[in-house]
Structure 1
Amino acid sequence: VNDNLNLKLAGRLNYNFAVAGFLNDQKAFIPDYLHFQGNQLFLASNFLNSFQLAPYYQYSNQAKFNASGHIEYHLNGLLTNKIPGFKKLNWFFVTGASALHISPDQQYLETYFGIENIFKVIRIDFVQGFEKSGSKPTGFRLSLPLLSR
């Protein structure tokens, strides 16, 4: 389920939620596993379809139930137009979160906050991940919307 909601002056809200699983997990081979898109590069992948800090294939599984969700809120000047100097730059804040639930022992969450519309094409985000093991990976991601569509 995904949608893009126009909140008029309050910005834009985009989301993507998915539920999946295997009816028979006894005979699934690695290519058949459910794979979630990770990213270990400085260049961001699509925020509504991937996890920016998750290692590749770490959360690939054959569980009977999986749930993932991505939500992104573009403030479109709601706050930046009130900060002197930012209004002239025409930069906008964006924030969001992505979550993955495979089992009570396998969960992953990441949140991000960024600035978009830099030179009209660049977006940079600070991303914080939260793993069930307690580790909290962090990183910056650069996005060029022309490349990620």
Structure 2
Amino acid sequence: MTDFDPAAHRYAEPSYFEDLIVGERFYIPSRTQTPALFSAFQLASGDNHPIHYDRPYCQARGHRDLLAHGLQVAAQAAAGAGVFPHVLGDSLVAFLEQSSRFLAPVYADDTLYPWLEITELIAGSSTGVVVVAVSIHNQDGVLVMDGEHRYLVRKRPDEADS
């Protein structure tokens, strides 16, 4: 094979706004929230509250172990950790916004299982907004976080021109 084109090295042909359907779900691999991840997130965020690194402090306040940073939990739903942005390819323009509700504590060594599900498609002239519900459950099936992402996605070039 002598004719290699880096632009052709991708997951699949891009899906456009018109290809997406409400109810479509996108898998994100599970991830165990190890103490190393707690430390890495503390370093990256600068959040030095002892609830995230001091076990005796946590236990004195009724927690069984280190309590995860809320944004650490929200980061587990990063679309790029799964297939969603690869399915969209070059049709993905931007990540517009996100919201999160933290519903149950996440502790060190909990395993989190994120999902994305399209709940709304808002068409524009050459692009559309894809609204995605986010859910994250722990290893016990408890919903620990839910929320929403919004993405700007291109319409098919021939569709946007008409």
- What's the TM-score once normalised by structure 2's chain length? 0.34
Bigger Cα Rg? 2
Give the structure with the larger helix fraction: 2
For CA contacts below 8 A with separation 6 or more, give which structure has more relative contact order.
2
- What's the TM-score once normalised by structure 1's chain length? 0.36
Give the structure with the larger strand fraction: 1
